[in-house]
Every structure is written in structure tokens, then in C-alpha cells.
Amino acid sequence: MGIKRTGAGVVVAAGAVALTAAVLSSVPAAAEPTLPSDALTAIPSPVSTGLPTEPSADDTNSGTVQCEFQESGDFKTVYGVFAQGDSVYAATWGTGLGISTDGGQTYTMVTNKTKHVKTNEFRKVYAQGDNIYAIGEGRIYMSSNGGGKWNTNLIGASPNSVFAQGDTVYMGTTKYPRISTKGTKNKGWKKKTNGIPSKGKKNYSIFAVGETVYVTGTSNSKSPGALFVSTNGGDNWTPKTASDGLPSATSDVFAQGDTVYVTPDTDTITSVTPPYISTDAGNSFSPLGPASFWNDVVGGTYKNSVFAQGDMIYVATYVGVAISADGGQSFELSSVTTPGQFSNRVYDVFAVGETVYAATADGLFIGTCTTGTVPVVTGS
């Protein structure tokens, strides 16, 4: 059934550290949706997700970021979010997978009452055109027609994350990364272990750019590697450790071109540890943004996920969304929810142009973030 709920607008101009503005990368809109005969809402036709390929080097304006968010859907906890064109996907905990084809105004819910779906608890979601990949409790769910029909698979490990390039699907699990070339058929999963020690088999997040694949992990004396990088599609992995500039554990990874972003796993390391960035396809890393921002503004809290488009970088934290418009040289903290009314605890963040999607402990919030020209103040 369709659910429509609009929350009060929240306008925030975060000012702890001012930003250099970036020309926001535009993402191609999805093709005009087509309706399967048994669907309750329109489902998008196949379309490139339009994820960015390289940061921009031509941005010269400077300014603060101002965001206005509204609640979307009638959800409680939302762990994952994805969007393409007018389609929005919300992985909720307890109410199912929400699919909207009108920019988040209404949602069709995929629940344990949907054929072949066995849970209302979802963690992550990714889509390419009509193909949808969702991580449910203990299972991977796939649809090839925008959510009209689903198949599921138990792969012998609990899935944590999912990503796809064409028919190649990548999954981070509790027992090594898995890769399938069967698209939404949800079979042919191969365990990719070469170079990953058995103590490092739990991989939280996975991402790929062409043949280069990244999976996050935890480094210790028996399992060196806070991040594992493969340059041949996952057949062989190289561990990346403190000697490469990383913390001892990472939780989320995202890449555009040769630029790679990771967030620290603050379950195992100090919670003031910043995210990290690599500009050489994961060969070496350095802290992302000023240390003063992460220490004094964000403080001792989680950095749950990271997303980037061009020079715009978004980090989901337990106190809002940290936003940079200059490739990470400086950051601001933006509230997502109404202060005092909701927790501002953000689990996942995604953006398409100026539209930002935040999955939070109190629901899904969709906002518009723009920049204005002011003098720049940087931290160290």
C-alpha cells in the first residue's frame, strides 16, 4: 500500500568549519517509469545509476552549506537508502523495504507478506534500473522488475552489503566476500578468499570500480588488513594496513575513479578516528578533513557510511551528516532531523545532485543541500 507522510522542514546552516563550494555533479534521471501489471506503484525502466567517476578539479566558489530536510515515509529505523531518478529505496528495520517512484512521496512496501520475502528487517539496498538488490536479515533478495517479483538465497554466511556492476554482483558477508556474475538470478555465488586470512573473513562493506574491488575488514596480529583491495575482480586480495595510512579497522568503503573513501569501525577503535581518503586507488591513505572538525565538532561518535559525488563528500554520523564541498579539505555538520524531536543518528547517506537522502534511527529524511558564497575558514 502507498504511504504518504511529510514532516516539518528543517533548515540548517552548519557553521563549525566553512566550506569551499563545489559544482554539484548531476546524476542522470531514470527513464519514465513503467508499471508491471501487478505492481501498486510505478517501477523505473532500466537506467544507469550515474554514480560519479572522478572528483572535479575545477571548482572555485566558496560558501557554507545550507540543508532543508523533510521526513519521507512512515518509517521508524532506516538502515540503508539508495536513489535513482525519482525512485527511492529505504531499507527499514521492522517495516520492510520501501520503494517509491515519486521522489519519496509514497512508498510500496516489500514485507514478509510479499511472495518469497521472509523478513521485515532490511539493512542495505542497491539498484540499477529495474534490478534491485536488498540485504534482509540473513539473506540476499533480488528483483529484476523493480520489486514486482523477488527471489532469495541463503549463501552460508550473513550478508552485510551489496553492490552491482551490470550482471556482476558483489556482497560483503561474515564469511569472506562473495561475487556472482548471474545478475538478479541470485545464484552462482563464489567465495573470494585468496589473500584474506581466516581471521579477516568478516567484511562489512564492498564496492567496485571496474576490476578494482574493495572490502573493509579488521586488522590484528593474525589478520593484517583493515581494507582488502583486488585489481582483478576479486580473484586476489592485497591487505592494506596502518603502514598504508589506515586505522586498524574500517566499516564502509566508497570509490569514484581512483579516489577511495573509508570510514573507521568505531566498534573496535577510538571513536574520534576520522574517515580516510586515498587518491591512488587504495595504495595509500590519509585522514579526510581537519582533525579539529572530527575531534571538536563531531566528537566521539560513529561514522557509519560515506558517499561522494565530485567534490561533494557526505559522512553519516550519530550527530548528523558531515558535508564537504571541497573534496574533503574542510567540513560542516548538518542536522537532518528537528533538534530535540529526533536523535539525528544517521546510519546511511546518499545523494543525487543537490538532493540528499539520510537513513536515520527515526526514519528517512530527504533534503536539498546548497552552497552560498562566504569567506573560507579551514582547520588543521
Q: What DSSP designation does 129 have?
A: T
215-234 pLDDT, tens digit each: 998 877 777 789 999 999 99
Position 177 in a domain: yes
332-349 pLDDT, tens digit each: 999 998 766 778 999 999
Position 377 in a domain: no
Position 379 in a domain: no
Position 215 in a domain: yes
Position 227 in a domain: yes
What CA–CA distances, in Å, run from 321 to 40, 119, 228, 347? Answer: 33, 29, 26, 10
| Residue ranges making up the domain that contains 357 | 10-372
Q: How many domains does one find in the chain?
A: 1
Position 3 in a domain: no
Least confident range of 38-47, 72-81, 176-185, 258-267: 38-47
Q: How many residues does the chain have?
A: 380
* Confidence band, pLDDT 50/70/90 cuts, at residue 372: low
Question: How far apart, in whole angstroms, are the C-alpha atoms of residue 101 and residue 160?
Answer: 26
Average pLDDT for residues 114-133, to the nearest whole number? 97
Higher pLDDT, 42 or 200: 200
DSSP string, 261-317: EEEE-TTTS-TTPPPEEESSTTS--EE-S-HHIIIIII-SS-EEEEEEETTEEEEEE
Q: What angle do CA 5, 10, 11 make, to 5 degrees?
A: 145
CA atoms within 13 A on the CB side of 112: 11
- Its pTM stands at 0.82
Tell me, what's the pLDDT at 8?
37
Average pLDDT for residues 143-167, to the nearest whole number? 94
Q: Which helix (H) or strand (E) holds 77?
A: none
* Confidence band, pLDDT 50/70/90 cuts, at residue 63: low
**Whether residue 90 has pLDDT greater than 90:** yes
Position 116 in a domain: yes
Which residues are within 8 A (CB) of 122 and not within 5 positions of it... i.e. 6 or more apart?
Answer: 79, 80, 91, 92, 93, 96, 97, 134, 135, 136, 137
CATH code of 287's domain:
2.130.10.10
Strands 159-165 and 227-230: unpaired
Position 325 in a domain: yes
Q: What DSSP designation does 124 have?
A: E
305-334 pLDDT, tens digit each: 999 999 999 999 999 999 999 999 999 999
Tell me, what's the pLDDT at 223?
73
